Amino acid sequence: MSSELQVFRLPDLGEGLTEAELVNWLVAVGDQIKVDQPIAEVETAKSMVEVPSPYAGTVAKLHGQAGETLDVGKPLISIAPVGAAPAEPKAPAATDDAVSTGVVTDAEASAAAETYRTEEKAGSGNVLIGYGTPGGATGGRTRPRKGSVAVVDAAPEAPVAAPEAPMEPAVAGTRIPGKLSAVISPLVRKMARDHGVSLDAINGSGASGLIMRRDVEAAISAPEAPAAPSAPAEAAAPAAASGDLDGRTGLAVSARTPVRGVRKAVAANMTKSRTEIPEATVWVDVDATALLDMRAELKKRSPHDTPGLLALIARFVTAGLKKYPALNTRFETGADGSQEIVGFDGINLGFAAQTDRGLVVPSVRNAHQLSARELDAEIRRLTAVAREGKATPTELGSGTFTLNNYGVFGVDGSAAIINYPEVAMLGVGRIIDKPWVVNGELAVRKVTELTLAFDHRVCDGETAAGFLRYVADCIENPGGALADM
């Protein structure tokens, strides 16, 4: 039995995520583990995930500490195979020694991690089942178990065109057999697209000709001067600890909170939305008295399965999007600068949910096919899994339109930021008593404010106003609206 350590690298958790925070180890050095046994809990920008081991054996080394952020493709755990006595890894004198002992140098780990992430975007399939990259074939173990299952090494496929030089041992130890080319990570691809840089004209400086971020930066800055290799974002931040004096305000710094996980994802998404979407906002006050009265009557008849107000409004929203499908689209810009509006045959209705980990937007898939009661059940289920941190990337990233009930926080309205890459968001304010004219007379009614933020590139104000007025009319006359749906 070979005594070579098996190094399991942090797998791609799907949706283009490139890092995860190590929350907790579920095993310790010296433990005997089985295939598919959870070894660690990690928190991504999407959810909390248990990472299972693709190997059985004895835990030889844990690469990282709780609270540390790890890059996808970096070593997570080293395991001595079953029947082998785990030995202390020796400092390698050369690359071959490093591979034979299972020790990976920083340079090798960085190259392997970059190659690993690159291949994931080409669909290599080395991901957690349920968190897979699109178009990749998932090989290996698929037997059911509680939680996610790691894909183990698949049998080699037919060889592809070989690079000029043999693949580095560190890279070969982490990749699933498949296509290795100059495909780059989404972040680097976007940088090139945003600056009009043709990837075909770039000679990659990474392993096997991979195009790296520094290559695109050099192309952007040419011919003035080549760009220096990019430093990690963390390195650019001051290393000063709390208690230091802030140079701008002259006040002592009381705390420094790293932006990561869900907060980091939300910040990036909101920034992208504000940067790329020319949004406009329309709003209207709505008399919700009839809706509240109808729900109260339903609750008397069937107290245990009466849909909530959000589910009823969600039903009106899906009907409105069928009438005004322009708001259920996505605006895309191609690498060549071409633009198109992508429509969908169906509605995945997202809704904003506040959790201990921050604001997330789970989505009810095929919401247009569900009744108000079915919508209510799915909204409750998704809210529960989101607050537990167990929602999958698919549940959190597949929406086509978002409904935001910020009225639960006691506010009337909001100039909401659209949930990129969607093109519209409907907000619902609190329902309060207000003076309202009914049949020419002043009365006290239950009034709420609806606010629609929309991407002005996909439609004009007439479409947005038509949708908003339709939902408002449904709320004011819910019985007739539901009867027509």
pLDDT for the residue numbered 130: 37
Fold of 6-172: OB fold (Dihydrolipoamide Acetyltransferase, E2P) (2.40.50)
Beta-carbon contacts of 338 under 8 Å, excluding residues fewer than 6 positions away, are none
23-55 confidence digits (pLDDT tens): 889 999 989 999 889 999 887 765 777 888 888
CATH classification for the domain delimited by 186-236, as one of 4.10.320, 3.40.50, 2.60.40, 3.40.630: 4.10.320
The ranges of the chain annotated as CATH 2.40.50.100 are 6-172
63 flagged as catalytic: no
Residue with tokens 């011919």: 223
SS3 category, 142: coil
Distance in angstroms (rounded) separating the CA atoms of residues 58 and 31: 6
The ranges of the chain annotated as CATH 4.10.320 are 186-236
The ranges of the chain annotated as CATH 3.30.559.10 are 263-484
Catalytic residue among 63, 304, 368, 456: 456
Q: What is the pLDDT along the chain (485 residues), one digit of tens a residue?
A: 446 888 998 887 665 567 888 888 999 998 999 988 999 988 776 577 788 888 889 999 999 888 888 888 889 999 998 776 544 544 444 444 433 344 445 555 555 555 545 544 444 334 443 333 334 333 333 333 334 333 334 444 444 444 444 333 333 333 333 333 354 455 676 677 777 777 777 877 776 577 877 887 788 877 544 444 444 444 444 444 456 888 888 899 998 888 877 778 788 888 999 999 999 999 999 999 999 999 999 999 988 889 999 999 999 999 999 999 999 999 999 999 999 999 999 999 999 998 887 788 999 999 999 999 999 999 999 999 999 888 888 888 899 999 999 999 999 998 889 999 999 999 999 999 999 999 999 999 999 999 999 999 999 999 999 999 999 999 999 987 787 76
Axis crossing angle, helix 289-301 with helix 461-476, rounded to the nearest 10: 50
Domain spanning 263-484 has what CATH number?
A: 3.30.559.10
CA 246-248-252 angle, to 5 degrees, is 25
CA 79-80-83 angle, to 5 degrees, is 140
163-189 confidence digits (pLDDT tens): 444 333 333 333 333 333 354 455 676
Axis crossing angle, helix 289-301 with helix 309-323, rounded to the nearest 10: 120
Q: Which structure tokens are listed for 55?
A: 């190997």
